[in-house]
Amino acid sequence: MKHNLNIIKSSDASLSFIKNKTIGIIGYGNQGRAHALNLKDRGLDIIVGLRDDSKTKNNDSLKNIEVLAIREVVLASDIICLLLPDTALPKVYEKNIKNFLKNGQTLVFAHGFNVHYNLISLPEYVDVVMVAPSGGGAVVRESFLKGSGVPSLIAVHQNFSGIAFDIAKAYSRALGCTRVCSFVSTFKEETETDLYGEQAILTGGLPMMIESSLKVLLEEGYSLEVAWFVCYYELTTIVDLFHKNGFEYLYNAISDTAKVGGLKSGNFLIDEAYENKLKQILLNIKSGKFKDDLIDSKLNFDYKSKLSLKDQSRIKDLMKLVFNKKEV
């Protein structure tokens, strides 16, 4: 089989490009903790930079890791991984990172947002790469400890050293991502597709569709337990069917009733008007409108359920009962 140059496995990446280098992890949240611990377990030299007001300074997992002020980490590191929230990074970068960067350092991003939208100013004398794991920090860490990993997207924005791609591949391997695979991308592609995937499916379309389906059944007088079971709980069984084998496998594995009903109603729901809305979501991302909305602190993005407070409370109690693993 011909090797796909856009897919990186562990055999394509050498840790020698980041060994004997000091790697600074800026931020110790969801991703920061996973990156720091995975790299440390690889035997790499790790230091962590935290903001003065950070609430994670006393985290137990930091006991054997040197913690410094962000400026000190920037000055002491060969490779600097920026793992602060997208909205917080520009201010921290301007104050504590930008003016302390040195010739030949490498900046690693886990998301292309701030680089793609030009929210930070990058000097020409550093490498700028991205290693974006396809999962939250807890999943990145847990899969690593099990001897596996999660896929990642890797990209090079600036190649000052001439080996920026090798550094990105090595970093992805150190995280455990190349145990599965890393896909070669760009900052633009990763940013726009990541935002689109979240909004159209993962954190936008799917949760809202589930909640709306629940709401309809409850309004029509069906019991909350059964409505929750068919609209929420059974989701995992369907995802498991197509996740590794595709949609054709799914439709061949379910009953004729489920197949006919699913295809008929699915095509009714996902019509041209729906696809036009998807295109509008992508346009808002590509044009920078969503970026502006995110930065505008006046906008309220708090989650508000479509269900009544009573039903929300009952569902929480039901989930505790169903997912209680203590009973035998």
Tell me if 104 sits within 8 A of 125, measured CB to CB. Answer: yes
For the chain, the farthest-separated pair of C-alpha atoms sits apart, in whole angstroms, at 67
Residues contacting 186, CB < 8 A, separation 6+: 112, 155
Residue 283 has a CB neighbour count (10 Å cut-off) of 11
Give the sign of the dihedral formed by CA 22, CA 27, CA 28, CA 30: negative
Tell me if 48 sits within 8 A of 77, measured CB to CB. Answer: no
Sheet with 127-133, strands from edge to edge, namely: 7-8, 182-184, 152-158, 127-133, 106-109, 79-82, 22-26, 45-50, 66-69
Indicate if 243 belongs to the active site.
no
What is residue 229's DSSP assignment?
A: I
Tell me if 147 sits within 8 A of 168, measured CB to CB. Answer: no
Choose the catalytic residue: 111, 116, 157, 243: 111
**Nearest partner of 187 among 118, 115, 273, 90, judged by Cα:** 115
Task: Tell me the C-alpha distance between 219 and 288, whole Å.
Answer: 38
Just list the catalytic residues: 111
